[in-house]
Chain A
Amino acid sequence: MALVCVHGPLRGLAGGRAEQEVAGATVHELLRGLEDLHPSVAGWILDERGIIRRHINVFVNGERSGEETAVAAGDRVEVLPAITGGES
């Protein structure tokens, strides 16, 4: 189990807890697992293709990661909206 920390407005959809344990061998599996635990999060982080939305960042143990990044037991996975500027 990895420890998933969901930030920003997503936290309320993901059960409201600061962190929670979720099973999965990759970031994609983990995020799908999060959707299984909290169906209201479906569509907010991963799109229908299973791709992390463009302005959402996922970090595994502090490193920016993609859908296929491997996740091990005890890893800390943070999900947060990106800091996106430039367009008003």
Chain B
Amino acid sequence: MTELLLGTKKGLFALEGEPGSAFEVRCRAFAGEPVDFAMRDPASDRVIATSTSPFYGPKIWLADDPAGEWTQAEGVAVPDGGDQSLERIWVIVPGEDGNLYAGGDPGVLFESRDGGATWELNRALWERRVNEDWQPGGGGLCLHSIVPWPGEPDKLAVAVSAAGVWLTEDRGATWCRGNRGIVPRYLPEEAREDTFQLCVHRMERATRDPERMFIQFHGGVYRSDDAGHSWTAVGEGLPSDFGFPLALDPSDPDSAYVIPLAGDFDRVTPEGHVCVYETRDAGATWTPRGDGLPSAQAYLTVLRRAFDRAGEGSSLQLYFGATSGDVFGSGDAGASWFTAARRLPPVFSVTASA
């Protein structure tokens, strides 16, 4: 049985099913509230969700069962008395020693060492954010990608739209930028060299070769072979190198999956054709994987956290949701696709566990 946790504009949906046929909605929580992200913590098996009430602001919640009682987490705030307020939590990711990380807007990273009940702001990154000129992207100043280093809890990489890639090797005590080679084509040519306005849309690390990373950029897909210090463009061969989400097969460091959109001027699937693209040679070539996906008159938008995977290798499962409320899945590493759910509210995020 595979579980999908969907953050949507109108609540959290927990779906269950087997790859190949439509999933059942097991329960819905936070009815009517925007739920930005939800995940099942592998350490505790609890579900942790983030909501941004238009009335009451962003919160993190925990539940043993998403159909049951939810408890509000503590410490999810930026320092009092400044000129910033917490706008949104975008993502929650398990760390390497049972801890959890949460990233959000305005460019904030939190850590929890008690299973998500309490959170502490990473002060070192916050100071960089306060003292440097970090510019927001269209979705705000969002820290949306957090990628631990398997087996090494001190090493972590995060990505911020639009403040680029940040790396730490001392568990967040100090941070350095990791942006060499990224070309922001949305800036005038003469402004590209020295800018830190780098709009990363999603970043992932290869489980079996942690120095290998990929990012989907705001125009460009990039690969790093040195743990995120420098990047090489690998988007050649895609119908468009603009998009938001990204997923990797944990068994294969040369693998990546992207979902191209027409471009930043038109953020829908190109020509009304929904298609996932796969590389198995680290971005040298890309293969369309659209068998079972809508091939005509489907103008979908897939947001940065709305693509996830479970399993690996030939049984890799892939799932993505669109703002149309459709959710698609594959149980065979993208070779074929099925419709997991339809007519849900706009999907903000997808996490899968099997």
Contacts and interface: CB of A to CB of B under 8 A. Distances in A.
Contacts of A16: none
A10 B55 CA distance: 10
Interface stretch (A18-26, A47-55, A58-66, A67-75): A47-55
B139 interface: no
Interface string A1-37: 0000000011000000000000000000000000000
B86 A49 contact: no
Contact of B55 (A40, A49, A50, A82): A82
Contacts of A84: 54-55
A40 B72 CA distance: 9
Interface in B66-86: 72, 76-86
22 contacts: A9-B56, A10-B56, A40-B72, A43-B59, A44-B56, A47-B57, A48-B77, A48-B78, A48-B79, A48-B80, A48-B81, A48-B82, A49-B84, A49-B85, A53-B55, A53-B57, A55-B54, A55-B55, A56-B55, A81-B55, A84-B55, A87-B54
Contact of B77 (A43, A45, A53, A81): A43
Contacts of A44: 56-57
A63 B56 CA distance: 22
Q: Is the interface of A mostly helix, strand, loop or mixed?
A: loop
Nearest to A56: B55
Interface of A: 9-10, 40, 43-45, 47-51, 53-56, 81-82, 84, 87
Interface residues of B, number: 17
A69 B86 CA distance: 25
A8 B102 CA distance: 29
Contacts of B59: 43
Chain A to chain B: the 7 pairs with minimum beta-carbon distance, closest first = A47-B85, A55-B55, A44-B56, A48-B85, A81-B55, A48-B78, A48-B80
Contacts of A10: 56
A53 B84 contact: no
Nearest to B76: A43
Residue of B56, B57, B76, B79 with most partner-chain A CB within 10 A: B56
Contacts of A9: 56
Residue of A43, A56, A87 with most partner-chain B CB within 10 A: A43
A9 to B, nearest CB: 8
A10 B59 CA distance: 14
B15 to A, nearest CB: 23
Contacts of A87: 54
Contacts of B82: 48-49
Given A40-B72, A43-B77, A48 B86 contact: yes
A48 B55 contact: no
B57 A49 contact: no
A53 B59 CA distance: 14
Given A48-B81, A49-B81, 15 more contacts: A10-B56, A43-B57, A45-B56, A48-B78, A48-B80, A48-B85, A48-B86, A49-B83, A50-B81, A51-B85, A54-B54, A55-B55, A56-B56, A81-B55, A82-B55
Nearest to A41: B56
Nearest to A45: B56
B162 to A, nearest CB: 22
Interface string B37-59: 00000000000000000111101
A50 B56 contact: no
Interface in B142-177: none
